[in-house]
Amino acid sequence: MKKLLLGTVALTLAAFGGMAEAKTYKIGISNTVQGNGWREEMVCAMKAQALASGEVSSLNIAHRNTDAAGQSEDIRNLIQAGVDAIVVNPANADGVNAAIKEATDKGIVVVAVDQAVTEPSAYILSNNQEQYAYLGASWLFKEMGGKGAVVYMRGAAGAGADNDRDKGFKKALAENPGITVASEVFTGWQQDQGKQQINDIIASGAKFDGIWTSGIDNVIVDALVESGAPLVPVVGADNAGFVGQLSTVAGLKGAAVTNPGSVGGAGVALALQILDGKAPAEKTTLVDPVVWDNTTDAGKALLKAAANPSLSPEWPVSVSIPGWTTYSQDQVIACKGPGE
């Protein structure tokens, strides 16, 4: 397993060699969450990289809200469409294995991004989700002085990333016996749902001293400010809106944990490298996150450098990955693939 570190604003990855003589391929994309800024940026990065590569003749995109059974159907439809590679953000680690195996048995390259799968024939380029939760929760519990109650705002129930993040959160919780969980909810990685949930918790009168979020963050800060509730420490992701809030909302203490949606573009680049005969020696590459907090000078400097008001508040600020993606920021914002 290869491990990579996400640095200040973008992560640095080593490519597996130069591009071969230009060829054209049909690339399939399978994603199971709509209406989430992170996933939308991921898909836009896939489109932008396919266009910038000059090697993709067409994209076949299955992008909808569905479960593992629905995604398996989507993958089988991509197989029938005759794609050369499929880049997939899996519904969970095991649920689409059979469909992936059908694809690879037919010589189709499969790359899982953001979350891992357990099918050994697939390549994985994933954010380290367990470490994402552990780093953020450890920072939060320390900021809380090792005691008090935390609101635990998870992602989508059953998703591989959520399961891994739960392991990391609970690892940090076990190391901090003075911390309790005031409320645990699944946001589904949906902004409206997460904001309603925190408003309900505030209205209930429940006491809490910190909030850990699974990437639904700027609307949580909005709810605290709008309700007049105490600005307890908040942990979120490196989404543009939250990154901006950490530098502008008076009295807010918080930390953004990096989790780049641009792994989607990197996944397309990896698929093309494999198709060009430059497969990596290792099947799995993990991208390790870092924490940008607004309580230290170093953290404030990282947040200032990362801020990008031109992006949607829900988009991660790391829109490109040096060494992998070759599109411009304008191209990923335009969200256009080959032929569009």
Say if domain 2-128+260-289+312-334 classifies as CATH 3.40.50.2300.
Answer: yes
Strands 254-257 and 291-293: antiparallel
Q: Where in the chain is the domain with CATH 3.40.50.2300?
A: 2-128+260-289+312-334, 129-257
CA proximity to 56, closest of 265, 272, 327: 272
- Taken in order 309, 310, 311, 313, the sign of the CA dihedral is positive
Structure tokens at 303: 């947040």
Rounded to whole angstroms, how far apart are CA atoms 81 and 51?
A: 20
Residues in Cβ contact with 98 at an 8 Å cutoff, skipping those fewer than 6 apart: 72
In this structure, which topology does domain 129-257 adopt according to CATH? Rossmann fold (3.40.50)
pTM for the model: 0.85
Q: What is the pLDDT of residue 262?
A: 93
**What's residue 2's pLDDT?**
58
Q: Which helix (H) or strand (E) holds 107?
A: none
As a whole number of angstroms, the distance between CA 50 and CA 188 comes to 29
pLDDT in tens, the chain (340 residues): 655 545 433 443 444 444 445 679 999 999 998 888 999 999 999 999 999 999 999 999 999 999 999 999 999 999 999 999 999 999 989 999 999 999 999 999 999 999 899 999 999 998 899 999 999 999 999 999 999 999 999 999 988 899 999 999 999 999 999 999 999 999 999 999 999 999 999 999 999 999 999 999 999 999 999 999 999 999 999 999 999 999 999 999 999 999 999 999 999 999 999 999 999 999 998 888 999 999 999 999 999 999 999 899 999 998 887 788 999 999 999 999 999 9
pLDDT at position 258 is: 93
Helix (H) or strand (E) holding 84: none
pLDDT value, residue 287: 80
State how far the Cα of 110 lies from the Cα of 30, in Å rounded to an integer: 11
C-alpha count within 13 angstroms, C-beta hemisphere, residue 79: 18
CA 91 from centre of chain: 13
Residue 38, both tokens: 């992170």
